[in-house]
Amino acid sequence: MADRKRLIVANWKQHENIKQASILVHRLQERIDRRSSVEVVLCPTFLAIQPLKLQVDAHKFKLGAQDAFYEDTGPYTGEVSAAMLRGLVDYVIVGHSDRRYKFGETDDIVAKKVAAVVRNDLSPILCVGETSSDRANSETAIVLNDQLTVNLTQLTSDEVQKLVIAYEPVWAIGTGDFAKPEQAKSASDIIRGVVKELYGPKAASQVRVLYGGSVTSHNSQAYLDIDGIDGLLVGGASLNYEEFGKIVASASADKK
Ligand code: PGA
């Protein structure tokens, strides 16, 4: 089996201002083991990235951004580019369902963002996933295939190997209605299958696949036990330091 390091990502969304983010990091640092074999990535608001960069123990946490614009610089009022995030973060979440469905991001825009993140030597955490009506119509595999095919179109096979893909069924995000482990397993197999078809077996075995959608300390282990799932993308539960500490501990405990 490919040696894929476990990854737990905290997506704080539009929560925690600079001061609150600093307090949360302080609490988390007390709970996370420096020697943990798990990579833990915190994705705060853009505003908090720089102060947290100075505050975090780099042996415990990496930082990520929740989005990045694809043009490096220019007249794009309100945007923050991947180029501007260089040196501050290691990861950038791209194509989160909040962006796709609340801000109208198309697969083409997501593809440009993924390419910009890679071009700037950062790692994209690409989110894909079906809506409840896609699932009801048995279109999960088609949706994942279509999203990945377009979203990865500008990458080489070597670049795809370094990617993180988060399976985030839209119906499970922030709803408490988390996916059954067998649904997450089936989706992760589909994702690796698409990567294999498009970029070959090496890329498919190296790419890290996460599950995200109403993850808590109660269900985290069930996903981490799945062969082919390398970690978790955690929203709501990552704002609670005790919960998130437990989720990270569950990932550290039994490294496959
Ligand atoms: P949730 O969010 O854990 O609150 O469902 C996950 C996400 O949006 O990435």
pLDDT mean across residues, the chain: 96
Residue 89 Cα to ligand 1 midpoint, Å, equals: 20
Q: Please tell me the predicted confidence (pLDDT) of residue 236.
A: 98
Residue with tokens 């569950």: 250
Q: Please tell me the predicted confidence (pLDDT) of residue 254.
A: 58
φ/ψ region of 87 (left if φ > 0, alpha if ψ in -120 to 50, else beta) reads left
Structure tokens at 218: 């109660």
Residue 200 Cα to ligand 1 midpoint, Å, equals: 30
For the chain, where are the E strands, in sequence order? 7-11, 39-43, 62-65, 91-94, 123-128, 164-167, 208-212, 231-234
| 101-129 confidence digits (pLDDT tens) | 999 999 999 999 999 999 999 999 999 99
Mutate to test the pocket of ligand 1, among 164, 214, 218 (most ligand atoms within 8 A of CB): 214
The residue whose C-alpha atom lies closest to atom 7 belonging to ligand 1 is: 235
253 pLDDT above the threshold of 80: no
- The binding-site residues of ligand 1, defined as CB within 6 angstroms of any ligand atom, are 11, 168, 173-174, 212-215, 233-237
The residue whose C-alpha atom lies closest to atom 2 belonging to ligand 1 is: 235
228 pLDDT above the threshold of 50: yes
pLDDT average, residue stretch 185-192: 98
Q: Please tell me the predicted confidence (pLDDT) of residue 23.
A: 98
Structure tokens at 27: 């609490």
| 31-86 confidence digits (pLDDT tens) | 988 877 899 999 999 999 999 999 999 999 999 999 999 999 999 999 999 999 99
CB count within 10 Å of CB 109 equals 18
Structure tokens at 17: 């201002």
pTM for the model stands at 0.97
Active site residues: 96, 168
CB 245 within 8 A of CB 216: no
Structure tokens at 207: 């790419």
Residue 74 Cα to ligand 1 midpoint, Å, equals: 32
Three-state secondary-structure class, residue 245:
helix
CB 46 within 8 A of CB 18: no
